Structure 1
C-alpha cells in the first residue's frame, strides 16, 4: 500500500506521540519524552527520515515501533555526556581493581604477621582467625542468613577443624588475585561499540545506535529485518536531531559515509 509523504510523516509522528504519552502517563524516562518532543519540533529535518523508515517498515508494525524505540533510547543512553561518563567509569573500574590488588597484598601480609605474633609472642588480640567467624559477623544484620544459614554454617564449622579452611590472609590474597586478573569488559554490544575508541565523539552515538539496531534484528530474535539499512543522509539527520546538536556541531551524509568506511576498514584489519 503506497503512502504519500504527508501520510508517512503524520503516521510516524502519531507513533512518536503515543510513545511519549505512554512514558508521561507512567512517569518514566523523562529524558526520552524530551527527545521525542524535540523530534516533533523538527519535522522539516526529519521528514525524509520518516519517509525512508516508513517505506521500509510500514508493513511490519512491530519493527517500525522497535526502530523508533531503539533510536530514542540510544539518544538518551549514548549522548556525548553519557559516553564520556561511561569511559570515565571504565577507567575508574580499572583503577579500583588495581587498588584492591595492592591493598589485598598489604592486608594479607599484615594478617600473616598478626598470626605469627599470636603464635609466638605470648600475646593475642582476640581477633578473628576463622573465615566463618568473619562471615557470621558480616551477616549479623542479615535476617535471612540468621534464619536459614547460620545454624547449618555453625554445624559445618564445628564438624571440620581449622586445617580444612583457608586462613584469612589466603582469602584476602584470593580477592586480590581476582582483582588483579579481572578484565574490564562491556556488558552489552552498544556499550562496547560506543566506548571502543580512545576519544569520545559523535561517532560513539552512531556506533551504539547501530549496535542496538543489530541487537533487535530478526536474526537476534527481534523484529527489525536483517536487510534494513539507513541511508547516510537519514542517519545524519537522526544524529543531529537525536543529540540536539547545535548548528556548528551538526553532521552530514559525508560524515556518515566516512564513518562507515572506517568501520569497514576496521573489520578487514
Structure 2
C-alpha cells in the first residue's frame, strides 16, 4: 500500500480532533459515528482529501468549516431524517387545515351556547369574557400573575364587554390564521433538501452544497466563493456521508446528472 499523502493525514487528523472534542463534550454522537466511518474508508476518500486540502488548507478556518459542514449535513440530512422532515412538513400542513375546520365548528358551538344562555332561560356558568379565559389559562404562569395580570384586570374593568372580542371571534381568528398559513422552511438548507417531490440521495447533495454556500466569503464566511468540488469528489462524500452499501453507491455520473438538472431548473 502507498503511504498516505499529506492531505490525507491532515484531513484525518482534523476529523479525529473533531470527533475527540465531541466525545469529550458528550454531544453529537451521530456525527462521531459518521467521522469514525470516514476514518475506515480512507481509500474511497483519498482523492477528495487531496482535493479539499489543495483548495482550502491555506485557510485553516475554511478547511475546518468545510469538514464541519459536511459531517453535520451527513447527520442532519441522511435519507431517514430527510423523509422525517418531509413528513413533518406534510403533517404541519394537515394540522393547520384541521385547526381551521375545527375552529369553524367550535365558533358555531360557542355562538349557539351564547344564544341559549341569553334566550332559553338556562345558563351553564361558563366564562364569556376573553380576559377571564386568559386569567384562567395563566393561573400557573408566575410571570403573568406577578407582572401582567394587574394591568390587564384594570383594562378589563375599564372597558365593558362590547370593547372585547367574543370567544367565538377569537376562535374564528385562530382558525383563519391557520387556514391562511403558508408552511415554509426555516433555512435554505431545509428548503432545498425538501423541495423535490420524492426524497432521495440528491437531497443530501443539495443540503451539503447549501451548507457550503452558507459559509462562503460572500456570506461573510471563510470558504472561497470559487471553491467547487469535482463530480467524483462529491460522489465520494455522498457515499461515505450516507454510508451507502455497495449496490447503492453513486459515481461521478450521478453528480453530473444532478448538476445538469439543477442548471435546467434554474433556467426554467
User: Normalization by structure 2: what TM-score?
Assistant: 0.98
Partner of 2:121: 122
- How many residue pairs end up in the alignment? 266
Q: What is the distance in 2 between the residues matched to 1:12 and 1:198? A: 36
Partner of 1:215: 214
Partner of 1:71: 70
Unaligned runs of 5+ in 1: none
Partner of 1:96: 95
C-alpha offsets along residues 73-98 of structure 1, whole Å, 9 cap, x if unaligned? 00000000000001111111111000
What SS does the aligned partner of 2:5 have?
Answer: helix
Q: What is the distance in 2 between the residues matched to 1:265 and 1:196? A: 15
Q: What is the distance in 2 between the residues matched to 1:5 and 1:81? A: 33
1:261 Cα deviation from its structure 2 partner: 0.1
Unaligned runs of 5+ in 2: none
Partner of 1:167: 166
Q: What is the distance in 1 between the residues matched to 2:223 and 2:124? A: 65
Q: Is the 8 A contact 1:100 1:176 kept in 2?
A: yes
Q: What is the distance in 1 between the residues matched to 2:83 and 2:13? A: 33
C-alpha offsets along residues 175-201 of structure 1, whole Å, 9 cap, x if unaligned? 000000000111111111111001010
What SS does the aligned partner of 2:221 have?
Answer: coil
Q: Is the 8 A contact 1:17 1:36 kept in 2?
A: yes
Partner of 1:181: 180
Q: What is the distance in 2 between the residues matched to 1:240 and 1:155? A: 65
Partner of 2:246: 247
- How much is the aligned-residue C-alpha RMSD, in angstroms? 0.9
1:122 Cα deviation from its structure 2 partner: 1.2
User: Normalization by structure 1: what TM-score?
Assistant: 0.98
Q: Is the 8 A contact 1:5 1:51 kept in 2?
A: no
Partner of 2:11: 12
Q: What is the distance in 2 between the residues matched to 1:77 and 1:99? A: 29
Partner of 2:196: 197
Q: What is the distance in 1 between the residues matched to 2:220 and 2:135? A: 45
C-alpha offsets along residues 141-196 of structure 1, whole Å, 9 cap, x if unaligned? 11111111111111110011111110000000000000000001111111111110
Which segment is superposed worse, 122-131 or 249-258?
Answer: 122-131
1:5 Cα deviation from its structure 2 partner: 6.5
Q: What is the distance in 1 between the residues matched to 2:159 and 2:206? A: 55
What SS does the aligned partner of 2:248 have?
Answer: coil
Q: What is the distance in 2 between the residues matched to 1:8 and 1:81? A: 32
Partner of 1:133: 132
Q: What is the distance in 2 between the residues matched to 1:128 and 1:54? A: 68
Q: What is the distance in 1 between the residues matched to 2:112 and 2:222? A: 61
Q: What is the distance in 2 between the residues matched to 1:245 and 1:5? A: 24
Q: What is the distance in 2 between the residues matched to 1:51 and 1:245? A: 22
What SS does the aligned partner of 2:61 have?
Answer: helix
What SS does the aligned partner of 1:149 have?
Answer: helix
Alignment of 1:150-161 (within 5 A): 150-161=149-160
1:123 Cα deviation from its structure 2 partner: 1.2
Partner of 2:225: 226
